[in-house]
Amino acid sequence: MSTVLPNGSLTQAAERKRGIGRALVKSIREYPMVYLGSFIVFVLIVVAVFAPWLAPYDPTKQFANGLTPDGMPVAPNHQFLLGTDDVGRDELSRLIYGSRVSLEVGIFATFISLVIGTTLGLISGYFGGVIDSVIMRLTDVVLAFPFLLLTMALVAVLQPSVTNVFIAIGVQGWGTMARVVRGQVLAVKSFEYVQAERAIGASTARILFRVILPNVLGPVIVLAALSVGFNILAEAGLSVLGIGVQPPTPSWGNMVSEGLLTYRFAPWMMWAPGTALLIAVLGFNLLGDGLRDIFDPRTTTHG
Amino acid sequence: MLSYIVRRLGAAVVVLFGISLVTFIIAFAVPADPARLIVGAKASPAIVAEVRHQLGLDQPLPVQYIHYVWRLLHGDLGTSYVYNMPVASLIGQRIGGTVLLAVACWLAELIIGIPLGIYTARRARTWIDYAVSALALVGISLFVPWLGEVLLYLFAFKLPVFPLGGTGGIRHLILPALTYGITGAAVYTRLLKSSMLEVLGQDYVRTARAKGASEQRVIWRHVVRNALIPVVTVAGIDIGTLLSGVVLIEVTFNWNGLGSLATEAISQLDIPVIMGTVLFTAVLVVLFNLLVDILYVFIDPRIRYD
């Protein structure tokens, strides 16, 4: 029985395969930041989704042998790979579960900002006049508050929980997005294809969402990626101020904040969560910056 | 020009009004009854009602808001439930520490960021440029309290060169300022680099070179001076980011200032202090931005306002 394919198609298939490989290598060379960023974000999502399977232990379980006889955290060993914290919980498990809070807050807060910012920016830029002035003053108000201080006040009033934290971050993170979208709309709305749509009697909603929106999406996607990183840091910042996601839910911010009290005798409690935060935020920043270089070659930030 | 300044002032007033509305709404949304917080859980309903009346909480919302703005205009930010003293004097006690720390942090990011920007712009597309770009990205991605913690561990605990936090003079300021400087410098490095690259391509730079000016003179007299304009704008306007960062630095380094005041107030649900601090810092940002915008009219003759 012959399994040999006609000679021609074999080489063709191999060549096509090599072609794809080569194209991939070329595109990775061209956009290393986007690929590295996407890879980090992908790993982060996998860790967050599969946390129960990946974590060696229950992140809230306090181990009897998780504390030394004199009540100190245990340094990294074969049972607790990243050591334990000051109440004898496994740091690695807390780190793995902590990715959930960071991602949830980072992504949902960005989503809220994105919806509010894009909608207001579209309306403001398209209609102009009084509507534009009102929306832009509103944006000025939101942008005037030091981000962390207003979030802090909002969360203090709403009571800290994952939902309230991302709502508080999301409802004031839209200012920059609204301004950017508005600017793009102003640039795009006088183009011929928009005029043409208007001339054939397209509805305002159609022009806004089907014609203009796709054309202003590039910078929005870039801002969204950068904003996820920013929001992850904002959530961690709230934890350090004592109003983030409340214990015993593990979050990287809470872990860094515990590290402030324990770095003198248990430095491992400080290294792990800070490094995790750095890698996660770096991933989104790489993605955002890399995409910006693709969408807008004029504003190259690197090289 | 005058009409520009007037319009800019008008916009600032509208924004200030909006800020007062936002803080009022947030403070009103507090689930806890302020009167109950003041008199304690055991007080009788009659006493609670009496205190509510004294605070004006039994009046319609718009009336309460007008009273609120009226008091704000007289510099009255309310009275702390915990300290039982005016919020304005509490802020007055703490503002000095925050200003000192904020200035130190701001200088640190400029001192680190600007030379790196100038240096890498002149060596664009070399390995050192890529290395600095990569470091800048890491700097932006660092979590401020964590970096502070690491610096404390390394340079105050392992190598006891600096104090382990606390409020004080130069020695106490160095680590906090360095922490903020490292995370904030990247913005200036990137901005200055791209703006220098843009200026380097301008005709007047070519003219300067053509007439035989030395490379040093071209860079310092022509390129850096012009490239610094956007950097100065950002440095002047970004006070909101600076204040947010300083709050975290204060908590990390146990520094006595507005941030630690607000954080303490939050743990005690001292609403007037929380809202007073938020309002005060927001007003500060608006006034500062206004000042920068107006100064610009005089500094940069290329900007036309009409």
pLDDT tens-digit series, residues B7-52:
888 888 988 988 899 888 888 766 666 677 677 777 788 888 888 7
Contact A149 B282 (CB under 8 A): yes
Give the domain-ending residue among B22, B43, B73: B73
Residue, of A17 and B157, whose pLDDT is higher: B157
Name the minimum distance, in Å, from the CA of B216 to any CA of chain A.
22
Distance CA B302, CA B306 (A): 13
pLDDT tier, B120 (very low <50, low <70, confident <90, very high otherwise)? very high
Cβ within 8 Å of A, B 197-236: none
Query: Does the CB of A109 have a partner CB in chain B at under 8 Å?
Result: no
ipTM passes above 0.85: yes
What percentage of chain A's residues is helix, strand, coil (to nearest 5)?
Answer: 75, 0, 25
**What's the farthest any 2 CA atoms get from each other in chain A?**
81
Flag whether residue B120 sits within 8 Å of chain A, measured between CB atoms: no
Residue B16 covered by a domain = yes
CB A229 within 8 A of CB B141: yes
Contact of A140 with chain B, judged by CB distance below 8 Å, is answered with: yes
The C-alpha of A204 sits at a distance from chain B's nearest C-alpha, in angstroms, of 29
B118 and B170 within one domain: yes
Helix-helix angle B271-299:B225-237, to 10 degrees: 160
Task: Please list every residue in chain A whose beta carbon sits closer than 8 Å to the beta carbon of residue B262.
Answer: 149, 152
- Single residue among B73, B104, B119 that ends a domain in this structure: B73
Q: In total, how many domains does chain B have?
A: 2
pLDDT at B305 (0 to 100): 52
Across the interface, do B146 and A299 touch by the CB < 8 Å criterion?
no
In this prediction, residue A153 carries a pLDDT of 84
- Domains delineated in chain A: 100-303 (1.10.3720.10)
Closest-CA distance, A45 to chain B, in angstroms, reads 18
Tens place of pLDDT for every residue, chain A, 303 residues? 444 445 555 566 666 767 788 888 888 888 888 999 999 999 999 999 999 999 999 998 888 888 888 888 988 988 899 988 888 899 999 999 999 999 999 999 999 999 999 999 999 999 999 999 999 989 988 888 888 888 888 888 888 888 889 999 999 889 989 999 999 898 888 888 888 888 898 888 888 888 888 888 888 999 999 999 999 999 999 999 888 888 888 999 999 999 998 888 899 999 999 999 999 999 999 999 989 888 865 554 443
CB contact under 8 A, A236 and B11: no
B301: pLDDT strictly greater than 80? no
Q: Within a domain: residue B188?
A: yes
Chain B (135-154) residues lying within 8 Å, Cβ to Cβ, of chain A: 137-138, 140-147, 149-150, 152-153
| Nearest chain B Cα distance for residue A267, angstroms | 8
What is the amino acid identity at position B174?
I
Identify whether B126 is part of a domain. Answer: yes
Please, which residues 275-294 of chain B have a Cβ atom closer than 8 Å to chain A?
275, 277-278, 281-282, 285-286, 289
In a domain, B87, yes or no: no
d(CA B35, CA B18) in angstroms, rounded, equals 26
**B225: confidence class by pLDDT, cuts 50, 70, 90:** confident
Which DSSP state fits A73?
B
Given a contact cutoff of 8 angstroms between Cβ atoms, the answer to whether A246 and A155 are in contact is no
In a domain, B135, yes or no: yes
Confidence of residue B304 (pLDDT cuts 50, 70, 90): low
Tell me phi and psi for residue B86, to 5 degrees: -60, 135
Q: Is A300 on the interface with B (CB under 8 A)?
A: yes
pTM score: 0.89
Q: Is the dihedral of CA A234, A157, A98, A247 positive or negative?
A: positive
Residue B36 CB partners (closer than 8 Å, separation 6+): B43, B48
CB contact under 8 A, B146 and A259: yes
* Neighbour tally for B61: CB within 10 Å: 10
Q: Which two tokens stand for residue A143?
A: 């942008």
pLDDT over 90 for what percent of chain B?
Answer: 37
Closest chain B CA to residue A226: B141
Position B180 confidence tier, pLDDT thresholds 50, 70, 90: very high
* CB nearest to A281's CB, from B141, B150, B285: B141
Residue B40 lies in a domain: yes
Q: A289 vs chain B: nearest CA distance in angstroms?
A: 9
Are B205 and B285 in a shared domain?
yes
Residues B185, B101 within the same domain: yes
> Per the CB < 8 Å rule, is B27 touching A157?
yes
Interface check A34 vs B, CB under 8 A: no
Compute the average pLDDT of residues B104-114. 94
Question: Could you tell me if A37 and A224 are in contact, meaning their C-beta atoms sit under 8 angstroms apart?
Answer: no
Residues contacting A61, CB < 8 A, separation 6+: A89, A90
Phi, psi of B40 (to 5 degrees): 90, 165
Distance CA(A288)–CA(B112), nearest Å, equals: 24
Q: Does B190 touch chain A (CB under 8 A)?
A: yes
Tell me the C-alpha distance between A235 and A162, whole Å: 9
pLDDT at A106: 94
- Residues 224-243 of chain A with CB under 8 A from chain B are 229, 233, 236-237, 240-243
Same domain, B120 and B61: no
B213 and B143 within one domain: yes
Predicted local distance difference test score (pLDDT) of residue A302: 42
Tokens encoding B259 = 């941030």
Q: Is residue B306 part of a domain?
A: no
Residues of chain A contacting B152 with CB distance shorter than 8 Å: 263
pLDDT value of residue B175: 96
Q: Do B65 and B148 have their domain in common?
A: no
Instruction: Pick the closest to residue A115 from A56, A160, A178 (CA basis).
Output: A178
Quick one: B113 and B240 in the same domain?
yes
DSSP string, A103-142: HHHHHHHHHHHHHHHHHHHHHHHHH-HHHHHHHHHHHHHH
Test A140 with B152 for CB contact under 8 angstroms.
no
Most confident segment among A170-174, B60-64, B142-146: B142-146
Do B134 and B40 lie in one domain? The reply is: no
Instruction: Tell if the CB–CB gap between A277 and B146 is shorter than 8 Å.
Output: yes
Which pLDDT value is given to residue A111? 96
Q: Where in the sequence is the domain holding B263, given as residue range(s)? A: 94-299
If asked whether residues B137 and B236 sit together in one domain, one would say: yes
Shortest distance, CA B208 to any CA of chain A (angstroms): 25
Chain-centroid distance of CA A263 in Å reads 28
> Exposed e or buried b for every residue in B256-276, given b needs 16+ CB within 10 A?
bbbbbbbbebbeebbbbbbbb
Verify that B98 and B60 share a domain, yes or no. Answer: no
Does B112 score more than 60 pLDDT? Answer: yes
**What does pLDDT average to over chain B?**
87
Characterise B56 by phi-psi region: left (phi > 0), alpha (psi -120 to 50), beta (else). Answer: left
Residue B206 lies in a domain: yes
CATH number at residue B285: 1.10.3720.10
Nearest beta carbon to residue B285 from set A146, A243, A289 = A146
At how many degrees (to 10) do helices A213-240 and A147-158 cross?
A: 70
B168 and B266 both lie in a single domain: yes
Report chain A's terminal Cα–Cα distance, integer Å. Answer: 58
A60 half-sphere exposure, CB direction, 13 A CA radius: 6
| Structure confidence at residue B84 (pLDDT) | 87
Out of A144, A149, A273, name the one closest to residue B262 (CB): A149
Which residues does chain A have within 8 Å of residue B124's beta carbon, measured at their own beta carbons?
303
Residues B110 and B23 both lie in one domain: no
